[in-house]
C-alpha cells in the first residue's frame, strides 16, 4: 500500500518551528552565486616517532607529542 502525503506548500497556515506564533514565515531566496571558502586547516597533536619508535619523556615515560598541520578531516 502506497501512502501519499499532501504537498506542504499548499497549506499557508503551516510555519517552521522557529517562527513565533501569529507571525508569517520569512521569505526565502535562492542565490545563484557560489562562495569560495578556505580549506580546513587545523593543528593536531601527533606522537613523535624516530625510526618508527615512539619518543618518550625521560622523567615520566609518557610519549612526546608534536603539533602537525592537518589539512583533511
| Contact (CB, 8 A) for 45 and 70 | no
| Contact (CB, 8 A) for 56 and 62 | yes
Record the pTM.
0.39
Interval 21-32 mean pLDDT: 77
Question: What domain range is 61 assigned to?
Answer: 42-73
Q: Model confidence over 51-71: pLDDT tens digits?
A: 989 999 999 999 999 998 876
Please report whether residue 22 resides in a domain.
no
Please report whether residue 69 resides in a domain.
yes
- The total number of structural domains in the chain stands at 1
Please report whether residue 50 resides in a domain.
yes
Determine how many CB atoms are found less than 10 A away from the CB of residue 7: 7
Please report whether residue 26 resides in a domain.
no
The whole-angstrom separation of Cα 68 and Cα 66 is 6
Please report whether residue 5 resides in a domain.
no
The whole-angstrom separation of Cα 14 and Cα 21 is 11
Amino acid at each position: 500500500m502506497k501512502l501519499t502525503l499532501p504537498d506542504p506548500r499548499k497549506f499557508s497556515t503551516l510555519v517552521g518551528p522557529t517562527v513565533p506564533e501569529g507571525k508569517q514565515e520569512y521569505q526565502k531566496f535562492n542565490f545563484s552565486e557560489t562562495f569560495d571558502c578556505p580549506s580546513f586547516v587545523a593543528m593536531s597533536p601527533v606522537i613523535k616517532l624516530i625510526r618508527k619508535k615512539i619518543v618518550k619523556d625521560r622523567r615520566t615515560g609518557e610519549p612526546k607529542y608534536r603539533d602537525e598541520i592537518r589539512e583533511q578531516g
